[in-house]
Chains A and B, each alone.
Chain A
Amino acid sequence: MSIELRNISKSFGQFQALRGVNLTVPDGQLVALLGPSGSGKTTLLRVIAGLESADGADKPEILFHRQDVAGADVRSRGVGFVFQHYALFRHMNVFENIAFGLRVRPRAARPAEAQIRERVRELLRLVQLEGLEGRFPSQLSGGQRQRVALARALAVEPKILLLDEPFGALDARVRQDLRRWLRRLHDEIHVTSVFVTHDQEEALEVADRVVVMNKGRIEQEGTPDDVFHNPASEFVMNFLGNVNLFHGRVEEGKAVLGSLVVDSPDGKKAPGANAKLFVRPYDLDIRLEDTGGLLGARIVRIQSAGSVVKLELLADGEKPLHVELTHTRFRELKIAPGRRIFVVPRDARVFVEDYTI
């Protein structure tokens, strides 16, 4: 079931959490809402669920499968919601937690006891918690609670699954396992899912589409590849990983940053404007000799324990730079701390400051 959102705004007192958000989630996809604290991602999720209502001047529209549900209350929207801290019913065991959604149905729609048992068993198998149905939430680990919360949400056969920071409260190791598991689970059940996260790695690894949010607005939306390789704004570039930033000016379609010169197609429109150059640490290469148009730097620190070699440099003008090299390239170069070297960007993104301001 697809989700379409139009003109979604939401204020809490003076604070505007959402500013006119428009978003379409295609049927059967797993979408990540990614952003820092206060970017409005959790509020957006809660608006989709019906736990918050959108406000603002323009009429907000929330369409599930092209049907407007903006006026419908939480109970009738048929969504599954996994809360950040799971919100398991503490006085009920795992079985009763999962069965809850079926037991509270009106008598006419309520399945027979035997069917409820069968459905709960099925879900326990799906989330790999067989044998734990008698435990209480306080007797479970974080990862187990998380999976009970998921099973409980799936018990009512929701058309849409919403997850608020599903891995936020878990330690790093469990997190890794669980997010791969969630991806496999989604491939199995194919229910349209939206999850909120502040962790870019998580969003890029798990989701079909990533929606990057900032200050109540959507900054960019696209496949993980798309947002990572073609960031639409400085914010997205910054948020999706480490970057080195250079300041300079635009001259004749090129960005000039000290001794560095980089092509900038945007620059033709705004000659003389300020330009910012963003380069990912692995897009900086190192040369031992100056061949012109390079930036001189001194090596401060080398950290080679890990999948890449991380260098900390101090470029001319005391500007710190981060560079990542493959181990092969590092061995070729035979460099050590203190040595003077030259830096060249292999790939870079130039953002020209708007000249009209």
Chain B
Amino acid sequence: MLGAPSTHDSGAPATGSRDPAAVKWGLIAATVLFLLLFLALPLAAIFTEALRKGFGAYLASFHDPAALDAIKLTLLVSAIAVPLNVVFGLAAAWAIAKFEFVGKSLLTTLIDLPFAVSPVISGLIYVLLFGLHGWFGSWLSEHNFKIIFAVPGIVLATMFVTFPFVARELIPLMQEQGSDEEQAALVLGANGWQTFRRVTLPNVKWGLLYGVILCNARAMGEFGAVSVVSGHIRGLTDTVPLHVEILYNEYNFVAAFAVASLLALLALVTLGAKTLVEMKVRRELAEAAALASPRHNNEGQS
């Protein structure tokens, strides 16, 4: 019925095979249209607006010391947040994938928490904790530590929001790979560090890089949580996304879009790198599955 028209019935219209094609092209057209409207058009708009007064004006936007400070701060924040999240992510993934303990599923859920809450809440948590009227606020001001409306607050908020990227990428990969190789290394006389550096880390290197790319993109682009804790002090606590907002609110459209184009470029580079690394990660996973295949044939034998 649904197959190609039968040979003896050439008169009947081949609606069965024409309809799916129409559906297919209809869906593709809808998707492309949607992408153009909501993704390509804004992206083009950013660059058009940024270059509206010529390339000279575009470049001049970056000579503004405030813009340079914002770029520097964004780089600094991601340079602190990303490596720390790599360490925490590796530790969390290692614990969850290779050990059995009580509360493991709770921990796995907690890792996803930053994805579940609104970034504004993430920022507010730190204001409530470290703000002037927060839990530790008076103690901090007595000892002359400034966290809220200062760089440490921005780093903390960024780390909170970007925490899941590395861990979430590594957990399924490490679980699939199991801990047999680590045990083998141990029996062969390797110590913990040698096992990690020579066995565990190389096995997950592409997955780790993938997590780092996503983590970095989010760390540099985070707006909501950072906005709450930053205080928008120009030249001091302004990151690139915050700076774009300030410039826009000041009707400085060329400069706003010029700085925004940096974030857009970052997104494009991230997308490219992500695609490349994704292929490598898939290979890592496929290899893990292939090497584990005898296990599936041999289930239930102790």
Contact = CB atoms under 8 A, between A and B. Distances in A.
Interface of A: 36-39, 41-42, 49, 51, 74-75, 79-81, 83-85, 87-92, 100-101, 104-105, 137-138, 142, 152-153, 155-156, 165, 168-170, 198
Contacts of B120: none
A156 B294 CA distance: 26
Contacts of A42: 302
Contacts of A198: 301-302
Interface stretch (B47-55, B134-142, B283-291): B283-291
A45 to B, nearest CB: 10
Contact of A41 (B185, B298, B302): B302
Contacts of A90: 177, 181, 203, 287-288, 291
B292 A51 contact: no
B184 A89 contact: yes
A152 B188 contact: yes
Contact of A85 (B180, B185, B194, B287): B180
A105 B189 contact: yes
Contact of A89 (B199, B297, B300): B199
Contacts, number: 94
B232 to A, nearest CB: 47
Given A85-B294, A168-B294, 20 more contacts: A74-B187, A75-B187, A75-B189, A84-B295, A84-B298, A88-B184, A89-B185, A89-B199, A90-B288, A90-B291, A100-B198, A101-B189, A104-B198, A105-B189, A137-B291, A152-B184, A155-B188, A156-B188, A165-B301, A169-B295
A169 B296 CA distance: 9
A153 B184 CA distance: 9
B291 A156 contact: no
Q: State the 8 A-B residue pairs at the shortest beta-carbon distance, nearest first.
A: A169-B294, A87-B180, A101-B188, A87-B184, A104-B190, A37-B302, A81-B187, A91-B202
Interface of B: 177, 180-181, 183-191, 194, 198-199, 202-203, 287-288, 290-292, 294-295, 297-298, 300-302
Contact of B188 (A38, A104, A142, A169): A104
B183 A83 contact: yes
14 contacts: A36-B302, A38-B302, A75-B190, A75-B191, A81-B187, A85-B294, A87-B181, A88-B181, A89-B181, A90-B203, A104-B188, A156-B189, A168-B294, A170-B294
Contacts of B185: 89, 100, 104
B265 to A, nearest CB: 33
Contacts of B191: 75, 104
Given A38-B302, A89-B199, A156-B189, A142 B183 contact: no
A357 B187 CA distance: 46
B97 to A, nearest CB: 15
A130 to B, nearest CB: 22
A112 B295 CA distance: 37
A91 B203 contact: yes
Contact of A83 (B184, B198, B199): B184
A92 B181 CA distance: 11
Contacts of B300: 37
B199 to A, nearest CB: 6
Nearest to A78: B189
B66 to A, nearest CB: 47
A39 B183 contact: no
A85 B189 contact: no
A168 B295 CA distance: 9
Nearest to B182: A87
A37 B291 contact: no
Contacts of B295: 84-85, 169
Contacts of A165: 298, 301
Contacts of B203: 89-91
A174 to B, nearest CB: 12
B64 to A, nearest CB: 47
Nearest to A41: B302
Q: In the complex, which of the residues B186, B198, B203, B301 has the most CB atoms of chain A within 10 Å of its own CB atom? A: B301
A198 B301 CA distance: 8
